Amino acid sequence: MIKAPEKAESLGLSCRAEFIFNLGTSKNGDRPIKVLSECICDFRRPDWESRWRDWNSQRNPYLNLFLCREHAKKLGLLG
């Protein structure tokens, strides 16, 4: 199980979501979807820890993560 980075590691208020990750992205090795609009990086959300826990444990198959490149790399979702 991948551990979520600490909030202190946040990239600040300037990080914006660049990619959408769904469960198929992690299970099948599919490429993430590129975000075409201005979206907040989920890592900045107050409920980040519970969103990550639900997504990583695959509890909610309909939950998508909207992440910037740096946070996706820290979580091991991008190479």
User: DSSP for 13-78?
Assistant: TT-B--EEE-HHHHHH-PPPEEP-S--B-GGGSTTHHHHHHHHHTT--TT--EEE-HHHHHHTTS-
Per-residue pLDDT tens digits for 11-40: 455 689 999 998 766 566 678 888 888 889
Q: Distance between CA 31 and CA 20 in Å, rounded?
A: 9
Q: What pLDDT sits at residue 37? A: 83
Model confidence at 5: pLDDT above 70 = no
The pTM assigned to this predicted structure is 0.75
Per-residue pLDDT tens digits for 60-79: 889 999 999 999 999 998 87
37 residue type, one letter: S
Model confidence at 41: pLDDT above 60 = yes
Q: Distance between CA 57 and CA 46 in Å, rounded?
A: 19
